[in-house]
Every structure is written in C-alpha cells, then in structure tokens.
C-alpha cells in the first residue's frame, strides 16, 4: 500500500524492545496505519494522521486519529503490510474500502 507505514502496538516499552521482525513477541494485536504526508508539530513532537484500534484488544474496531512520533518509537515496531493484514484484519476492511 503506497504512502502508508504499519506499526504493531506493544503493551509497554520492554515488550517492544524484546521483539524482532521475525519474532513479533507479546504484542497487543492492533496495528497503526500511519499516513506520513499528513504531519504536524504539537508540543515539540511530530504527529501523523493515522488509523488505529479503538480498544486495547486484538483486532479492535478502527478509528481515525493522530499519533506522536514518540509513541511510535517507544511502544511500536514497524512491520510489513503482509504482517499487518494477518494481525489486524479490521484495519484493512477500512483501508481497502
């Protein structure tokens, strides 16, 4: 998918750092789809428009939002579109329409 990056959410910084691209570890089951063309700075942090899970449960319903770069760095790991499709099908129901 062009111009979209996918990030897998983790419950905390420690779980994020334990995980690798091959072994995704103990993740939350939700993916954030980040649109990098739509960004803005607020309180010294870069924010991006995104689609993300509404609840902290696997394959959660999806809402539009914005996410700070600091959150992506601390609690998320970038993954491929294929991995994202497998982990969070509800996200792609929204993206593909």
Look at the chain and report how many structural domains it folds into: 1
Summary mean pLDDT of the chain: 93
pLDDT for the residue 40: 82
Q: Does residue 1 have a pLDDT over 80?
A: no
Could you tell me which residue, 43 or 10, shows the higher pLDDT? Answer: 10
Q: Does residue 56 have a pLDDT over 90?
A: no
Q: Which two tokens stand for residue 38?
A: 């739509």
Q: Does residue 7 have a pLDDT over 80?
A: yes
Q: Under 8 Å CB-to-CB from 93, ≥6 apart: which residues? A: 62
């Amino acid at each position: 998918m062009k111009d979209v990056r996918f990030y897998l959410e983790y419950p905390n910084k420690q779980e994020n750092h334990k995980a690798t691209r091959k072994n995704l570890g103990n993740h939350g089951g939700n993916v954030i789809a980040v649109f990098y063309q739509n960004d803005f700075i607020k309180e010294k942090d870069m924010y991006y428009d995104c689609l993300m899970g509404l609840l902290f449960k696997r394959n959660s319903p999806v809402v539009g939002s914005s996410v700070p770069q600091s959150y992506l760095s601390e609690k998320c790991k970038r993954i491929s579109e294929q991995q994202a499709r497998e982990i969070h099908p509800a996200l792609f129901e929204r993206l593909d329409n």
